[in-house]
Amino acid sequence: MLPLKVAPYFVDYVRHQLQELYSPEVLEREGLTIHTTLHPEISAAAERAVQEGLEKLEMERSQLATDSAEMPLQALMIVLQPKTGAVLALVGGRDYDVSTFNRALYALRQPGSVIKPFVFLAGLDQYTAISQLTDAPTTYDLRGIPGHAQL
């Protein structure tokens, strides 16, 4: 297994998965060989991109920079192989030595525009590109409870 300094968030995640799959005795004594999808060069580039991107953002927008070393601006990056979905790199934060919390996997965040393709896909079940839709206010019944929200 790679030392923790190479792709630390990725390696940490793999270690957690192994601990869920195998007993401590097996992990300590069996000499398992673990194969992953990690590409160390891509991972190093992703870590640099996160670090340099945050530094550039803080320089350009000084209001985003914090004086607190405990709460610096954070980012994450996941690099996938498009054809297979294999995770080539996973960066869970600005600096693993400062915070081991993996934001890529465990942070609670708003879905933002990522949800739009799923909404559009669901709409394709009922509508086509030439369907006419009204933009009049509509009341929806949610789980049998009369809805109060109008869209």
CA gap 107, 10 in Å, rounded: 15
- pLDDT exceeds 70 at position 2: no
- pLDDT exceeds 70 at position 150: no
Residue 151 in any domain: the answer is no
- pLDDT exceeds 50 at position 133: yes
> How large is the average pLDDT for residues 120-140?
85
Q: What pLDDT sits at residue 124? A: 85
**Assigned token pair, 88:** 């080539």
Secondary structure (H, E, C), 87-107 = EEEEECCCCCCCCCCCHHHHC
Higher pLDDT, 87 or 3: 87
Which pLDDT tens digit goes with each residue over 38-55? 999 999 999 999 999 999
Domain count, the chain: 1
Residue 150 in any domain: the answer is no
- Which range of residues forms the domain containing residue 39? 8-131
Q: Per DSSP, what are the bridge partners of residue 80?
A: 87
- pLDDT exceeds 60 at position 13: yes
pTM of the entire predicted model: 0.68
Residue 49 in any domain: the answer is yes
Which pLDDT tens digit goes with each residue over 89-122? 999 999 999 899 999 999 987 778 888 888 888 8
Closest by CA to 46, choosing from 14, 98, 89, 109, is 89
Q: What pLDDT sits at residue 145? A: 62
Q: What pLDDT sits at residue 148? A: 52
- pLDDT exceeds 60 at position 67: yes
Residue 23 in any domain: the answer is yes
CATH of the domain at 89: 3.40.710.10
Residue 144 in any domain: the answer is no
